[in-house]
């Protein structure tokens, strides 16, 4: 695996910085000698003669590629954190899940398509577009989360909406567009695995890979929308090429 991670900054001003995190690079880590994105951005600011402050507004799993927003001042960080808390920051993802419709739905008939999961041995049903609503409980010792019944102590509500964009019958995979409404630990990975459609290459949540092989989890945080903390202007940034491929 390539451990060289050049910075890919797509926008920057005096208050915010938007960049693309590569798969495999942690956003932040306490491990000695391991690179992380926050430290690299601080070093970048030092090289430019700036104060090495980087405000972490949201997170992204280490194996996942995606667009990220950071604050360059404490004032901007506080403003953006309030947007996160009030769910005013929009985050959209593209993912490849293991499972595909038994029959191709037309544009006028996109409800209640039957889907057979490659990971599970029994058929599952998932509408062509809809919402997943679960309660997730995090286990800090194993760094995993799982779906549990409502009312379980410590569980947090997790909601996302999705659209099945395309599928490939030969590979048994589907391309899914996802909009997060909450930001829980490993949320997308856990919810789709719980529904019977684990993300491709996500060994942690039920999609095993051949021994000795590696590939990034088939998930990309490709779009983020927010209000600029200083001007209030609506801003949107998109990754045009997600790198997700149904044929591999």
Q: Identify whether 220 is part of a domain.
A: no
Tell me: do 75 and 102 sit in the same domain: no
Q: Identify whether 245 is part of a domain.
A: no
Q: Identify whether 247 is part of a domain.
A: no
* pLDDT of amino acid 101: 58
* pLDDT of amino acid 150: 95
Match 């997308």 to its residue by tokens: 188
Global pTM value: 0.86
Tell me: do 30 and 59 sit in the same domain: yes
Tell me: do 104 and 195 sit in the same domain: yes
Tell me: do 118 and 81 sit in the same domain: no
Q: Identify whether 43 is part of a domain.
A: yes
Tell me: do 82 and 98 sit in the same domain: no
Report whether 25 contacts 35 (CB < 8 A): yes
Q: Identify whether 214 is part of a domain.
A: no
Tell me: do 97 and 35 sit in the same domain: no
Tell me: do 116 and 57 sit in the same domain: no
* Per-residue pLDDT tens digits of the chain, which is 248 residues long: 445 578 999 999 999 999 999 998 999 987 777 899 999 999 999 999 999 999 999 999 998 999 999 999 999 999 999 999 998 999 999 999 988 754 444 444 444 444 444 444 445 666 778 899 999 999 999 999 999 999 999 999 999 999 999 988 888 889 999 999 998 999 999 999 998 899 999 988 986 766 666 678 999 999 999 999 999 999 999 999 898 988 87
The Cβ of residue 227 has, within 10 Å, a number of other Cβ atoms equal to 15
Q: Identify whether 34 is part of a domain.
A: yes
Report whether 225 contacts 6 (CB < 8 A): no
Q: Identify whether 216 is part of a domain.
A: no
User: Can you tell me the distance from the alpha carbon of 205 to that of 39, in angstroms, rounded to the nearest whole number?
Assistant: 29
What CATH number is given to the structural domain containing 134?
A: 3.30.2350.10
Tell me the residue range of the domain where 157 lies: 93-205
Tell me: do 123 and 101 sit in the same domain: yes
Q: Domain total for the chain?
A: 2
| Tally of CA atoms within 13 A in the half-sphere of 100 that contains its CB | 15
Question: Looking at residue 42, what DSSP letter applies?
Answer: H
Q: Identify whether 215 is part of a domain.
A: no
Tell me: do 101 and 136 sit in the same domain: yes
Tell me: do 200 and 98 sit in the same domain: yes
Tell me: do 99 and 56 sit in the same domain: no
User: Can you tell me the distance from the alpha carbon of 32 to that of 66, in angstroms, rounded to the nearest whole number?
Assistant: 24
Tell me: do 151 and 183 sit in the same domain: yes
Match 């909450």 to its residue by tokens: 182
């Amino acid at each position: 695996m390539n451990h060289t991670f050049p910075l890919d900054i797509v926008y920057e001003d005096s208050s915010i910085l938007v960049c693309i995190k590569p798969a495999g690079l942690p956003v932040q880590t306490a491990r000695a000698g391991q690179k992380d994105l926050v430290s690299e951005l601080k070093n970048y600011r030092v090289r430019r003669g700036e104060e090495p402050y980087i405000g972490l507004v949201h997170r992204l799993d280490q194996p996942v590629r995606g667009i990220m927003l950071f604050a360059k001042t404490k004032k901007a960080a506080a403003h953006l954190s309030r947007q996160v808390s009030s769910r005013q920051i929009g985050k959209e993802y593209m993912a490849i899940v293991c499972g595909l419709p038994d029959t191709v739905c037309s544009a006028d008939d996109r409800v209640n398509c039957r889907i057979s999961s490659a990971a599970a041995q029994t058929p599952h049903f998932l509408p062509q577009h809809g919402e997943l609503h679960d309660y997730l409980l995090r286990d800090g010792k194993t760094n995993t989360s799982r779906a549990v019944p409502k009312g379980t102590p410590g569980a947090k509500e997790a909601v996302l909406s999705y659209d099945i964009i395309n599928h490939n019958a030969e590979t048994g995979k589907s391309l899914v567009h996802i909009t997060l409404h909450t930001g829980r630990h490993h949320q997308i990975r856990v919810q789709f695995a719980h529904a019977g459609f684990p993300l491709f290459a996500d060994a942690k949540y039920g999609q095993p890979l051949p021994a000795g092989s590696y590939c990034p989890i088939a998930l990309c945080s490709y779009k983020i929308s927010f209000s600029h903390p200083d001007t209030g202007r609506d801003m949107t940034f998109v990754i045009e090429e997600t790198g997700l491929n149904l044929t591999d």
